[in-house]
């Protein structure tokens, strides 16, 4: 065991006394190795990132599938609850009108009139919303801007020929106006 230590110590001392300088390419080789190692690490990290993104996309797809079902069932439940609420309100109003008028026929007539007014009001507001959704003010402003643009183009076209008239060459000018 001690013989191995002595050989190791002798080898270390020989290397320290070695007068040969390192070659100038040794530093470049070391830098190249470190760049290759960093590139390999980068590629490994990109692979892990791609795998994580694939897993994330798969998980998001599962959530989307589940959420579409939940949204659809929620919409069905919302419609069912709103219809049942409407029926309860109509029944309550009908009972109140029957008690107030002491006549089922008059109470039903009032309910029909209220429903007709409700449908007419909803129809009016839907038409109004559609009209506002088509942006009439913006369309009017765009038409006005188009008219102003056409006016400017026409005005520019009228002044353009005078500015773009060909310049007379010197020989034609000397023939017209002899000095």
Three-class secondary structure of residue 165 per DSSP: coil
**Residue listed under structure tokens 């013989």:** 3
Give 117-165 pLDDT, tens digit per residue: 999 999 999 999 888 888 888 888 989 999 999 998 888 888 755 555 5
81 located within any domain:
no
179 located within any domain:
no
**Residue listed under structure tokens 């089922």:** 104
Residue 138 confidence (pLDDT) = 86
13 located within any domain:
no
Residue 130 confidence (pLDDT) = 87
Number of folded domains that form the chain: 1
Whole-number Å distance between alpha carbons of 81 and 88? 10
Asked whether the CA dihedral 111, 117, 120, 124 is positive or negative, the reply is: negative
From 73, 112, 120, select the one nearest 93 (Cα to Cα): 112
**Structural domain for 143, as ranges:** 104-161
Record the tokens describing residue 58, joined without a space: 């798969």
98 located within any domain:
no
Give 58-113 pLDDT, tens digit per residue: 999 998 888 898 999 999 999 999 999 999 999 999 999 999 999 999 999 999 99
Residue 134 confidence (pLDDT) = 83
Asked whether the CA dihedral 132, 134, 138, 141 is positive or negative, the reply is: negative
Residue 169 has pLDDT above 60, yes or no: no
139 located within any domain:
yes
22 located within any domain:
no
Whole-number Å distance between alpha carbons of 10 and 18? 12
46 located within any domain:
no
Whole-number Å distance between alpha carbons of 27 and 29? 5
124 located within any domain:
yes
């Amino acid at each position: 065991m001690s013989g191995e230590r002595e050989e190791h110590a002798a080898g270390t001392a020989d290397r320290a006394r070695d007068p040969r300088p390192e070659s100038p390419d040794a530093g470049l080789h070391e830098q190249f190795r470190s760049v290759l190692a960093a590139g390999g690490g980068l590629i490994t990290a990109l692979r892990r990132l791609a795998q994580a993104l694939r897993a994330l996309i798969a998980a998001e797809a599962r959530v989307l599938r589940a959420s579409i079902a939940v949204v659809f069932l929620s919409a069905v439940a919302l419609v069912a609850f709103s219809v049942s609420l409407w029926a309860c309100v109509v029944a309550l109003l009908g009972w109140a009108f029957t008690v107030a008028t002491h006549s089922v026929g008059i109470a039903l007539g009032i309910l029909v009139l209220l429903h007709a007014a409700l449908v007419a009001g909803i129809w009016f507001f839907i038409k109004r919303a559609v009209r506002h959704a088509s942006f009439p003010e913006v369309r009017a402003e765009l038409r006005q801007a188009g008219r102003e643009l056409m006016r400017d183009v026409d005005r520019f076209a009228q002044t353009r020929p005078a500015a773009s008239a060909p310049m007379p060459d010197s020989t034609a000018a000397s023939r017209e106006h002899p000095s």
